[in-house]
C-alpha cells in the first residue's frame, strides 16, 4: 500500500499529533505561537480525543522526506546490556552538553517520554518522525506524551510530576539543542526497541529508568541518598523464590523500598512465564526518592502491570501507612481528572455550537 497505517496495528493509542506532523525542512530556533487548545482524550481503552480525532496525516513509507535525518539504531543484543549502555550513553551526552550536571531530571524525562510513547510496533517510522521534528515539535511532542499519560492514568501521571516540570519552565526553548542530542542518543541506543514492542513481555526485559537514573547520578550522590538498585539477577532469583506456586488472582505484592521497580519487573516476567497476567494482581511500591518513584510509575505502564498499581513517595520507616494513604488518593485523582475532562468536553461542545450558529447565520444571510 502507498501509506502505512500506524493506527491499524497499534496496541494502545495513536501517535501524538505533534510528532505525527509532516516534517518541516527547517528547524525553529524559537517557539512559534502556541496552537489553539485541544481537548484531552477521554479516559477509556481507545480514546478519541488528544491523538486520534482527527487522525493526523502521516508521511508515506516511500515518500521523500524534506529533511533527511536518519537515526540508525545500534544492534541491541542482550536487552539488559543494551539498557545499561543506553543509560550510560545518555548520561555522557547530557553531561557533555551545556545543560549537563545538576538538572538530571531533563534527560530522565526524555528517556521516560520515549518509553511511554503511545504507539507501539512501528519503531523505524516513529524514530524517523521524531528525528525529523523541529525543535518546537519535539518539545510539544513530549508535553503531549505526558498529557496522554495523565489523561489515562492520573494516579501514575501525578507521580511523574518531577519529570514534567522543565517542559513548563520559561526559556525551555534554550534547552532544545541539549534535548535533541539526548533524544537522538536514546533513539540510537535503542530506547524504542527496548520499550516499543506491542507485547509487554518484550517491554519488560530491562529497566531503562534504573540504568538512566543511576548513570546520571554521581557515586557520591548515590551514597548520600543510600540509593542502591538491586541487580536484576538478584531480583529474578528473589521473584522465583517468592512465587514457588502460582499466586491467586487479586493477590497484593508490596515493595517498601522499590526504587524504579526492579523487583516488580522480575516478578511480572516470572508471572508471565507461569502463563499468568500481571494485570490480575495488585502492586504497591514505596520509594523515598521522587525521581526514582517517577521512574517506577513510568515502568508500571511500560511493563503492563495493569490498573491496580500504587506508587507512593515517602519514608516507609517514618510512615507505615504511606501505601494505604496513596491508594485512597487514587480515587480523588481520578475524580479530578474526570472533572477536568468534563470541562474540556463542555468547552469543545460550546465551540461547536457557536460554529454551528455562525454557519446557520451565514446561510440565512445569503
- The residues spanned by each domain of the chain are 17-324
Residue among 100, 105, 141 nearest 295 (CA): 105
State the chain's mean pLDDT as an integer: 79
pLDDT of residue 17: 56
pLDDT of residue 215: 92
pLDDT of residue 28: 35
CA 306 to chain centre: 15
Least confident of 173-177, 204-208, 351-355: 351-355
Residue among 212, 177, 216 nearest 194 (CA): 212
pLDDT tens column, 307-334: 999 999 988 777 767 777 888 888 888 8
pLDDT of residue 228: 64
132 pLDDT band, cuts 50/70/90, is very high
pLDDT of residue 353: 72
pLDDT tens column, 266-297: 999 999 999 999 999 999 999 999 999 999 99
pLDDT of residue 227: 58
Judged against a pLDDT cut of 80, whether residue 347 lies above it is answered with no
Secondary structure element (H or E) that encloses residue 303, with its range: none
CA-CA distances (angstroms) from residue 201 to 52, 79, 198, 266, 305?
A: 26, 12, 9, 11, 11
336 pLDDT band, cuts 50/70/90, is confident
**HSE, side-chain direction, 13 A CA sphere, residue 288:** 14
Amino acid at each position: 500500500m502507498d501509506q502505512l497505517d500506524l493506527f491499524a496495528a497499534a496496541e494502545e493509542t495513536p501517535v501524538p499529533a505533534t510528532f505525527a506532523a509532516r516534517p518541516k525542512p527547517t528547524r525553529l530556533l524559537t517557539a512559534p505561537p502556541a496552537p489553539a487548545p485541544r481537548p484531552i482524550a477521554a479516559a477509556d481503552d481507545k480514546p478519541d480525543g488528544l491523538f486520534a480525532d482527527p487522525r493526523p496525516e502521516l508521511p508515506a513509507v516511500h515518500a521523500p522526506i524534506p529533511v533527511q535525518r536518519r537515526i540508525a539504531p545500534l544492534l541491541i543484543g542482550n536487552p539488559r546490556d543494551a539498557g545499561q549502555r543506553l543509560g550510560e550513553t545518555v548520561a555522557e551526552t547530557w553531561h557533555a552538553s551545556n545543560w549537563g550536571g545538576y538538572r538530571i531530571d531533563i534527560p530522565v524525562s526524555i528517556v521516560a517520554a520515549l518509553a511511554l510513547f503511545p504507539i507501539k510496533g512501528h519503531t523505524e517510522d516513529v524514530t524517523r518522525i521524531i528525528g525529523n521534528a523541529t525543535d518546537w515539535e519535539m518539545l510539544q511532542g513530549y508535553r503531549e506524551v505526558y498529557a496522554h499519560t495523565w489523561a489515562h492514568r492520573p494516579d501514575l501521571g501525578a507521580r511523574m510530576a518531577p519529570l514534567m516540570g522543565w517542559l513548563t519552565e520559561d526559556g525551555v526553548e534554550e534547552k532544545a539543542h541539549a534535548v535533541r542530542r539526548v533524544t537522538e542518543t536514546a533513539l540510537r541506543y535503542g530506547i524504542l526497541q527496548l520499550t516499543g514492542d506491542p507485547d509487554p513481555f518484550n517491554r519488560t526485559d530491562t529497566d531503562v529508568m534504573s540504568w538512566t537514573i543511576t548513570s546520571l547520578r554521581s557515586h557520591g550522590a548515590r551514597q548520600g541518598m543510600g540509593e542502591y538498585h538491586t541487580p536484576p539477577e538478584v531480583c529474578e532469583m528473589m521473584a522465583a523464590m517468592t512465587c514457588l506456586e502460582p499466586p491467586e488472582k487479586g493477590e497484593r505484592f508490596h515493595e517498601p523500598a522499590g526504587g524504579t521497580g526492579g523487583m516488580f519487573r522480575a516478578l511480572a516476567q516470572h508471572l508471565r512465564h507461569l502463563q499468568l497476567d500481571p494485570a490480575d494482581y495488585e502492586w504497591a511500591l514505596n520509594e523515598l526518592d521522587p525521581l526514582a518513584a517517577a521512574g517506577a510509575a513510568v515502568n508500571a505502564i511500560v511493563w503492563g502491570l495493569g490498573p491496580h498499581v500504587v506508587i507512593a513517595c515517602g519514608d516507609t520507616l517514618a510512615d507505615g501507612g504511606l501505601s494505604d494513604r496513596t491508594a485512597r488518593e487514587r480515587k480523588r485523582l481520578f475524580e479530578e481528572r474526570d472533572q477536568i475532562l468534563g470541562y474540556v468536553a463542555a468547552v469543545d461542545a460550546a465551540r461547536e455550537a457557536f460554529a454551528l450558529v455562525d454557519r446557520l447565520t451565514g446561510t440565512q444571510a445569503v
